[in-house]
Structure 1
Amino acid sequence: MTSDTVLKVRALGVDAVGPDGTHPIVTSFGLDLSAGETIGIVGESGSGKTMTARAIMGLLPGSLVARGEVEYDGRNLLELSEREWSHVRGREIGLVLQDPFTMLNPVFRCGRIIEESLIWEGRRRPPRSERRAEVNRRLAEVGLTDPSVADRYPFQLSGGMRQRVAVAASLARDPKILIADEPTTALDVTTQKEMLTLLRGVQKSRGMSVVLITHDLRVAFAMCDRVYVMYGGSLIEVAPGSDLETKPLHPYTQGLLLAEPSVDRRVAELPSIPGSVPKARETTGCCAFATRCEWVTDQCRQGPPPLIEVADLRYSACVRLPEISSDMAAKRARIDVVEAPVRDVRAERPLIDIRDLRKEFRVGQRTVHALAGVSLQVNQGESVAVVGESGSGKTTLARTLLGLERCTSGDIMIDGIPAHDWSRLSAADLRRLRGTVQMVFQDPYASLNPMRSIGSALSEAIRSHESATKHASGAVADLLKTVGLPASYAQRRPSALSGGERQRVAIARALAVNPRLLVCDEPVSALDVSVRAQIINLFATLQRERGVGFVFITHDLSMLRQITERVCIMYRGRLVESGPVDQILDHPTDPYTIKLLRSIPRSDADWIDAPVSTEV
């Protein structure tokens, strides 16, 4: 703690109180935040990041209670009444959430949302013209210079514009501290970079302190002065961002770093951390990471390790660090030199042949050209990525390919069957197409029936293709084994699984009909970095061992080199560039492709301020 510390957190814990007793959600967390400083809190889902932020803001639900100390301006915020909190939230500490719809009232226009957040110190509410001028000034501060934005409802804005309005509302009362909880996770790479640049610029102009919660380590390294790593409700490592990137001092942090896909090279298999994050109450008597650590010994199970200073400005909660630090460094060195060649997939006839595909939608009096003459071929066993921002036509292309949308014009051939209009196909052709192409959606929880067991869902998929199957239970077990899950998971429901496990089940269901191609719509964008690595490795295994091909719909360019042989770039319904993955990533020619690649998160601070605007 220094003289310019604006927020001090000590022994912060969050407990769930219920009929069966009290259970910890966050065991112990502490931080010191200086004026104008940015700190990052990173970790997988379930680590306690968001609960920590909500505890600091006094926004925990009624079933949770916070303990410890959150000192701001000489007061412990945990002791404030709700009336006292009203003078702290927004005025002193602002909050930006991942989903702007959570923050923005959908029945209010954006101007009113910001206006109601403003403070008119020492005087009555000013005239409408003055209020409107102040709203426009606040919108301009976050890059929204069009005055008409104030008259629009949140649903009339793009995701990036909604997030900018949310930031403007959070800054309306000029807080000294801004807590940003995953503010860019759901955004495209270009919009993400614009938002991060915006936050950095506003922070510098105001001298504001920022707490950035993220599971993207590259974003944390680029934005943050110091990074706090959480796992299983515990704080396990603290370090300056640059030091943490080059030399992690906890096995969990190293596992996260190694699981990040490399933009520059392709590896045969991405390193991943086995298993999933345990609940805090399951690890109260040992190191939280003990169940997933390759260096675990009995010493790690003899009690929760303390977070201690292990080097200058470096803190770690690993009791075996002096013994294993050299092994950790050796593992990083081995992985840094491993590369794998790109597979050469050729065929006499493409499995998928799309010619001059067009799709138009009527929006009021307007005609939107979602697809404007797209032509694309995919060979048997090939992995092709279709990349672009939201609104580029990626998902429309996938839905048209699967018969979920009918194209306006153009031709689609799937394994020699005309498939531009599935409603006109014979029952035999429909059966053949559904056995050829299947889809994996972004949100596995939304695509699985929460009331049915995993075994029931997979059995239904098997019998829909092979109605005479008598031994569905054996086939279910085989499917689960294929995607790396035990047969016992057939008895569970989706709510009992982690996000990565649910996505594995969704993939297993798609594999039930033995398809030759999987169309995957943002299949890993909602997953943590380590779980994402597990799923990417699973895709590679399916391609290698079963000859399954893939069409990946994605805006995450960082994983392209790991999972695809060919990349197609879409912009406003058009295919603007395509080619081998190495050619596209290393030598792009289209201005839009160059803009996308410049927006890929990098761990150096210069990336935030580097321009990406290119005429397209």
Structure 2
Amino acid sequence: MNEVESVDEPALEIRRLRIEAAGRGTATTIVSSLDLSLAAGETVGIVGESGSGKSMTARAVVGLLPPSVFVSRGEIRYGGRSLLELTERQWRRIRGSELGFVMQDPFTMLNPVRKCGRVIEESLPDAGRGTSRRQRRAESIERLAEVGITDEAVADRYPFQLSGGMRQRVAIAAAIASEPQVLIADEPSTALDVTTQRDILLLLKKLQAARGMGLVLITHDLRVAFAMCDRVYVLYAGHLVEAAAAAELESTPMHPYTHGLLISEPPVDRRVAELTGIPGAVPVPDDVAGRCAFEPRCAWSTPTCRNGTPPLTEVAPRHLSACTRVREIHGEMAHPRSRMRLAEPLPPARPPSGGPLVRGRDVRKVFDGRRDQAPALAGVSFEIGYGESVGLVGESGSGKTTLARSLVGLERITSGELVVDGVAVSAGSRLDARDRRRLSHTVQMVFQDPYSSLNPMRTIGSALKEVVRLHDPSATDPSARVAELLESVGLPAELAQRKPVILSGGQRQRVAIARALAVRPKLLVFDEPLSALDMSAQAQVLNLLTRLHRDRGIGYLFITHDLAMVRQIVDRVYVLYRGDIVESGPVDEVLARPADQYTKKLIESIPRPTGTWLT
């Protein structure tokens, strides 16, 4: 049987699952064949890059596939029943009550026009029928308390009035209100800062232990999977390529793809010269049909890897791999990981020469003009030198994005002094057209979601040409400049003919960086630019940023909640907490010997691939 079976009788069982999307005259494969089992009280992880089929598998299990997507083969069984044979009415009785579902973005689960307490009431068994309004409200408050929300007023708030972490807690409370036997969690903590992520994952483990739930955790972060899961399934381009106990998969990967994901992780304890990312991107399953799906990106591929789809076979007790060469290359796969562990850290960066490019003194920002409101920035002072890479870290709500938007002129500070390359963008100062143009040539911003900052109706080349013409009207050959920009971020010139929807997340982020570079700025501000990307794509983009910083002398303000990532890209770091800078200094010193308790809390919250991280 092509599966790592759980020890106990499965609560959930998937056999030979194939998922396709309807197209014009033909269907496109999303998942080609998947076997999976989950025992009661067990946690299994499904990992892989975007495009591997993880989320569609989750949606198939709970009967929520999009209208054009369907299961064309296979079986999904829960409690002895075939879920694929259910009518929608039968699904409604099972979904939520027996099978819970938590998505990455709680906004997609929570009705925006219903108060949180009401959302939970509607998720209670039989929607709380036979009970009074007061009893239902009391039970919704109990459910909120179960997920760590003790403020009863939250029941009377709308989802948009809550932080991301609070919304996710409400979504979990609604998902478990009917006490399901199995919970499917699709990237439940990816968009959250490290401390909130740890809280949410710890909450899931506690709820699972208290209720004896089975948990299927979908994530692209292997550190999270190893800390949370008993067993892990690795998906690639719709194929199951490896499955094993979590501890064994972490210590002894038996497929080149899993190995590639592991060595893409940035080390927490040091900065290295270059991260090792998997080249290329996940292909469409149909494009690699009839051969090893990973062959085009594999460093150990041979012509034999193109001769048919390799079967999933047992290569060690309860350890499956779909690599026909695994016994030959197993020893070689261990070497890169050893080299990573032994790699010498980079020496500390030299301090920048000359005066600061950016200087902030007692910068304060209060929204809505209310002086009694807690400030987003409470009088912070900081500097960024010419060609210097500086990090800004802290939880959501700490003021990071407000500071970044103030730098590029998207927010006006309430008081204090903020000067960017001689241009005052302080409170009360009005920028004339000349200063606004100078500011835009000095500093450019790259946002977290590149798709939302690119016009989906325009080609990449068109978007880049527009920036070139706007900032360099004398440019004689904008098309050549576009090709040069794409090449500078490691993308082929022919990508100029494509629209953003065709590109992967990592490619779109590279396009966003190319657009910012078109202005030839002195400083790039990155606001969580990698949080939505897979580990391998993160490594590729981080290497690109390191090269641009080294070769062009561009300064960076890098905003992130991932301290392992910030260590790889910045020289100095500022730690923000509730609008205040609580610690600053060289990044290696701050992360190795933190002085402030809040910084220590952030460091302790960095995901680590062991179960003790969540104890």
Shorter-chain TM-score range: over 0.9
Partner of residue 551, structure 1: 557
Alignment of 1:84-95 (within 5 A): 84-95=90-101
Q: Deviations over 1:482-541 (max 9, x none)?
A: 100111112222122111111111101111121111011111111111001111001100
Does the residue aligned with 1:575 lie in a helix, a strand or coil? strand
Distance 1:157 1:495, change over 3 A: same
Amino acid at match of 1:179: I
State the alpha-carbon separation in 1 of the partners of residues 41 and 178 from structure 2: 17
State the alpha-carbon separation in 2 of the partners of residues 345 and 276 from structure 1: 37
Partner of residue 430, structure 1: 436
Instruction: Report the alpha carbon displacement of residue 565 of structure 1 after superposing the two structures with TM.
Output: 0.7
Distance 1:135 1:301, change over 3 A: same
State the alpha-carbon separation in 1 of the partners of residues 77 and 372 from structure 2: 54
Q: Deviations over 1:124-163 (max 9, x none)?
A: 5122332222222211111111222212111121111111
Partner of residue 177, structure 1: 182
**2:282 is the alignment partner of 1:283:** no
**2:475 is the alignment partner of 1:482:** no
Partner of residue 330, structure 2: 325
State the alpha-carbon separation in 2 of the partners of residues 50 and 489 from structure 1: 27
State the alpha-carbon separation in 2 of the partners of residues 367 and 331 from structure 1: 52
State which drifts further: 296-305 or 422-431: 422-431
Does the residue aligned with 2:196 lie in a helix, a strand or coil? helix
Partner of residue 272, structure 2: 267
Partner of residue 540, structure 1: 546
547, 564, 574: which one pairs with 2:570? 564
State the alpha-carbon separation in 2 of the partners of residues 465 and 298 from structure 1: 49
Partner of residue 120, structure 2: 114
Instruction: Report the alpha carbon displacement of residue 347 of structure 1 after superposing the two structures with TM.
Output: 1.5
Paired-residue identity, %: 60
Amino acid at match of 2:158: Y
350, 354, 358: which one pairs with 1:344? 350
232, 236, 243: which one pairs with 2:241? 236
Q: Is the 8 A contact 1:422 1:430 kept in 2?
A: no
**2:409 is the alignment partner of 1:415:** no
Partner of residue 102, structure 2: 96
Q: Is the 8 A contact 1:403 1:421 kept in 2?
A: no
Amino acid at match of 1:160: G
31, 37, 40: which one pairs with 2:42? 37
Q: Deviations over 1:245-290 (max 9, x none)?
A: 1111111111111111111011100000111110111111111111
Aligned-residue CA RMSD (Å) = 1.6
State the alpha-carbon separation in 1 of the partners of residues 408 and 77 from structure 2: 55
Amino acid at match of 2:401: T
Distance 1:15 1:225, change over 3 A: same
State the alpha-carbon separation in 1 of the partners of residues 134 and 421 from structure 2: 64
Instruction: Report the alpha carbon displacement of residue 57 of structure 1 after superposing the two structures with TM.
Output: 1.2
Does the residue aligned with 2:376 lie in a helix, a strand or coil? strand
Instruction: Report the alpha carbon displacement of residue 222 of structure 1 after superposing the two structures with TM.
Output: 0.3
Q: Is the 8 A contact 2:416 2:427 kept in 1?
A: no
Alignment of 1:371-410 (within 5 A): 371-410=377-416
State which drifts further: 142-151 or 573-582: 142-151
365, 369, 372: which one pairs with 2:375? 369
Q: Is the 8 A contact 2:414 2:427 kept in 1?
A: no
Q: Is the 8 A contact 2:390 2:557 kept in 1?
A: yes
State the alpha-carbon separation in 2 of the partners of residues 350 and 24 from structure 1: 54
Distance 1:318 1:348, change over 3 A: same
Amino acid at match of 1:451: M
**2:33 is the alignment partner of 1:10:** no
State the alpha-carbon separation in 2 of the partners of residues 232 and 351 from structure 1: 45
Partner of residue 304, structure 1: 309
State the alpha-carbon separation in 2 of the partners of residues 488 and 308 from structure 1: 40
Task: Give the TM-score of the pair, scaled to structure 1.
Answer: 0.96
Amino acid at match of 2:328: E
Does the residue aligned with 2:539 lie in a helix, a strand or coil? helix
Amino acid at match of 1:415: D
Instruction: Report the alpha carbon displacement of residue 422 of structure 1 after superposing the two structures with TM.
Output: 9.7
Instruction: Report the alpha carbon displacement of residue 363 of structure 1 after superposing the two structures with TM.
Output: 7.5
Partner of residue 614, structure 1: none
Q: Is the 8 A contact 1:164 1:195 kept in 2?
A: yes
Instruction: Report the alpha carbon displacement of residue 428 of structure 1 after superposing the two structures with TM.
Output: 3.6
Does the residue aligned with 1:28 lie in a helix, a strand or coil? coil
Instruction: Report the alpha carbon displacement of residue 14 of structure 1 after superposing the two structures with TM.
Output: 0.3
State the alpha-carbon separation in 1 of the partners of residues 318 and 569 from structure 2: 38
> Which runs of 5 or more structure 2 residues have no equivalent in the other structure?
none
Instruction: Report the alpha carbon displacement of residue 73 of structure 1 after superposing the two structures with TM.
Output: 1.7
Partner of residue 462, structure 1: 468
**2:84 is the alignment partner of 1:64:** no
Q: Is the 8 A contact 1:345 1:381 kept in 2?
A: no
Does the residue aligned with 1:413 lie in a helix, a strand or coil? strand
Amino acid at match of 1:273: I
Does the residue aligned with 1:589 lie in a helix, a strand or coil? coil
Q: Deviations over 1:398-434 (max 9, x none)?
A: 1111111111111122223323269733444333322
Distance 1:179 1:250, change over 3 A: same
Q: Deviations over 1:285-308 (max 9, x none)?
A: 111111111111111111111111
Partner of residue 606, structure 1: 612
State the alpha-carbon separation in 2 of the partners of residues 500 and 423 from structure 1: 38
**2:223 is the alignment partner of 1:196:** no
Does the residue aligned with 1:367 lie in a helix, a strand or coil? coil
**2:136 is the alignment partner of 1:131:** yes
74, 84, 87: which one pairs with 1:81? 87
453, 460, 469: which one pairs with 1:447? 453
Q: Deviations over 1:456-488 (max 9, x none)?
A: 221221222221111112211111111001111
Amino acid at match of 1:547: G
Residues matched between the structures, number: 608
Q: Deviations over 1:561-615 (max 9, x none)?
A: 1101111001111111100001110111111111111111111111112xxxxxx
Instruction: Report the alpha carbon displacement of residue 177 of structure 1 after superposing the two structures with TM.
Output: 0.5
Q: Is the 8 A contact 2:412 2:425 kept in 1?
A: no
